[in-house]
Copies of this chain bind each other. A is one copy, B any other.
Amino acid sequence: MPVNAVGREIPREIDGRKLIPFGGAYARGPEGKLHAPKIPPLIKPGESKVLPSLDDAIEKAGIADGMTLSFHHHFRDGDMLVNMVLERLAKKGIKDLKMAHIALFPVHEPLVKYIADGTITSTEGSLNGPTGRAISMGKMKGLATLRSHGGRVRAVKAGEIEIDVNFIAAPTADTYGNCNGFWGKSPCGPLSYAMIDAEHADKVIAVTDNLVPYPALPFSIPQTHVDYVTTVEKIGIPEKIVSGTTQITRSPARLKIARLAIQLIKDAGYIKDGMSFQAGAGGVSLAATKFLGDMMRKEGVKGSFAMGGTTRYVTDLLKEGLIKTIFDAQLFDLYALESLRNNPDHVEVSSEMYADIHTKGAIVNRVDVSFLGATEIDIDFNVNVNTHSDGWLLHGTGGHQDVAAGSDFTMILAPSFRGRIPVITDRVTTVTTPGESIDAIVTERGIAINPRREDILDRLHGSPLPIMPIESLLKKVQKITGAPEKPEFEDRIVAVIEYRDGTVIDVLRQKKMR
């Protein structure tokens, strides 16, 4: 079996699908042309797009066995639409569906039975929680393909995912299909991830709980892409967009990680006018964002933009003038929503503009500093965010590969171990993001800089920070946790981990049950 650039064996093909082994972050040049969507049927003036019910929309869209359906994930664990649609399709006895969602969450546990009974036979999106676990157990007939946010856009544009029907959970839609997530009783903010699907899908159904007269503004998804509009009682629960914490971590160890990270970017020379960054929504990221603001204020620095999951902490930086723009593809709290609604410098961007390698330059290319997470990091700086060290598939890739490849200084902020399971390891269970894209690992027990970044190591010469080789960090951790038990797998491959350029960075095998 060929071995790819991060040392993983990648089969030449699985079930007739040819796999291209990952060759390096920018090794694969673009070839050929983009996918050409069908020219849609003529919609004459006066024709209505509004259908009385979701059932009618499903009927009208002609969903049949073997089709590919897509959904966006802005409601995250508060989404109600995926379950609603799949329940109806299962009841109709439709089989062999390909789910091209962006991401599933614990709320989508009902899909486990549809995976097991063959209603769903393959997936093309992130799997957070129960659906991932079911696939790890080998319950799905076909393959799961995991992609980064940018990689998924690329795959849709390349025609590797051909969407038959795209469902948009639309917090606001007008009678001609213009949709946004800004307003209504269930606002989710941007509809960024839905944009590319709406552009390429054969049929697009906007499902809303806030149908308004024409025209709805902004038209995050424009009328030109939408076939049908229908209403349901409720599409999602905004309060559940953040299933975890929206609070800055109180753990002293994690606060320490955030403080070290900010001192690191200071010492590495990134605190300067025009700086840009990407931050997530976890407790450590929130702390890092807050400390970054403190540092910028102290140093009298004005930044350029922030990209990423938008929280009140980032929003406050914009309000204060410490950054001049927020690019938003997913927001996490209502405070950020108010900013998106009212501040012209807080703008919605498509996932394509955010992260797609097959554009003439995505936003990630312009990020100076990024704070990312990991379930595991190994001595080659490879990062795993998809599986746990026990081998369960439990998380999606998100923007991890994209941001790591794009940003100039990519830091992984992670505790050195979690509940006696080491995060620093000799070899990650699954490679999500190649070590070449990772510049630093910041743990409460020390910082490791990727030796490829000699420039950074030079700049850090004389820094009081606890900088050490990754091997030393690994030893320190293993002294506490012992060497971890490695999970065992069956032969069958259940998931393919694609890199953002469409090559395969790793595969995941069915977990061996004891």
Contacts and interface: CB of A to CB of B under 8 A. Distances in A.
Interface string A180-194: 000000000000000
Contacts of A158: 39
A274 interface: yes
Contact of A361 (B31, B34, B49): B49
Interface in A460-485: none
Interface in A1-53: 26, 29-47, 49
Interface in A285-330: 304-305, 325, 327
A361 B325 contact: no
A514 interface: no
Interface stretch (A61-69, A98-106, A351-359, A421-429): A351-359
Contact of A214 (B176, B227, B304, B405): B304
Contact of A44 (B38, B215, B325, B365): B365
A304 B35 CA distance: 36
Contacts of A353: 219, 222-224
A176 to B, nearest CB: 6
Contact of A213 (B29, B35, B227, B304): B304
Interface string A369-403: 00000000000000000000000000000000000
Contacts of A26: 42, 44
A94 interface: no
B29 A37 contact: no
A362 interface: yes
A42 B204 CA distance: 30
A356 B39 CA distance: 11
A232 interface: no
A347 interface: yes
A170 interface: no
20 contacts: A26-B42, A35-B36, A40-B358, A42-B357, A43-B359, A44-B365, A45-B366, A176-B365, A215-B304, A215-B366, A217-B345, A218-B347, A222-B353, A223-B361, A223-B362, A223-B363, A224-B359, A224-B361, A226-B360, A227-B360
